Amino acid sequence: MNQSYAAVAEAHARVPEAPILAQLDGVSLRYASDTLALANTSLTIRQGEFIAVVGPSGCGKSSLLKLVSGLHPPQEGTVTVDGVPVVRPLSICGMAFQNSSLLPWRTTLDNVLLPLEIVEPHASQFRRKRRDYEERARALLKLVGLSGFETRYPWELSGGMQQRTSLCRALIHEPRLLLLDEPFGALDAFTREDLWEVLQTLWIDKRPTVILVTHDLREAVYLADTIYVFSPRPGQIVHRAEIGFARPRSIETTYQPDFVDLVHELRGKIARH
């Protein structure tokens, strides 16, 4: 292991641990089709942590997001957030997916504002505080390089610009927990790398707790503090890796020998299962 990486990892390990935000304890999830997606999965997620979940297709990565967000209950085990069992969808979550799912009849600004019209306590005061909310949305759009595009419609934006808008929409209500399901999977390699930097900037600036589901191991190592490798279905955690590269990371970081070695190590963990 590269000496600089080892030093950063050691310093990272000495930092006091943040409070636990979410906990899965012995969780199993079976769908109505009788498909066992997750089996006896336990996972601790700390406040402000950026974790990535990787593994083969169909291993239950997206199912994990449904459990944590309260969109689907487990058949076995418990899921808690802030020490309270999750029994319904959580309002502290923001979500973004591979498809940006922007509403075609709304402008960029209005798409970003949408969660504030739905999620309490913002919904009940949206009209009264709209000007403040618009300022918040414009600040987010500026942060991701979309100043000047507030009045454009989704069909006037590139795929990368749509995903930037989707990230702003997921963050506009200042969620404590940001759930990302292959958000850059449909984009070309150059756009995807640009958005890694955008997401890293957003995370450093806002510090939500992030769970990223991805098939891209470079993406996982570039963005995450901790990576969990899942086995084929039914999904179980077979490896946990702490990422010690200093932040902010750059695309040049991904070409360092220790970065490449870690990507290959993770690939080997997936291949052996």
Task: Note down pLDDT in tens along the chain; length 273 residues.
Answer: 444 555 444 544 445 688 999 999 999 988 877 788 899 999 999 999 999 999 988 888 889 999 999 998 898 999 999 999 998 888 889 999 888 889 999 999 999 999 999 888 899 999 999 999 999 999 999 999 999 999 999 999 999 999 999 999 999 999 999 999 998 988 889 999 999 999 999 999 989 999 999 999 999 999 999 999 999 888 899 999 999 999 999 999 999 999 999 999 999 999 876
What pLDDT score was predicted for residue 14?
44
Distance CA 141, CA 136 (A): 9
Distance CA 121, CA 235 (A): 36
Residue from 130, 94, 96, 100 nearest 115 by CA: 94
- CA torsion, ordered 228, 203, 179, 92, to nearest 10 deg: 130
- What DSSP designation does 145 have? T
Beta strands 209-213 and 177-181, pairing class: parallel
Domains of the chain: 1-91+208-273 (3.40.50.300), 93-175 (3.40.50.300)
Q: Are 45 and 11 in contact (CB under 8 A)?
A: no
Count of C-beta atoms within a 10 Å radius of residue 190? 10
Q: Please give the structure tokens belonging to residue 52.
A: 């990535």
Which SS3 state, helix, strand or coil, does residue 206 take? helix
What pLDDT score was predicted for residue 235?
87
- What DSSP designation does 235 have? B
Distance CA 158, CA 194 (A): 13
* 20, containing H or E segment: strand 20-30
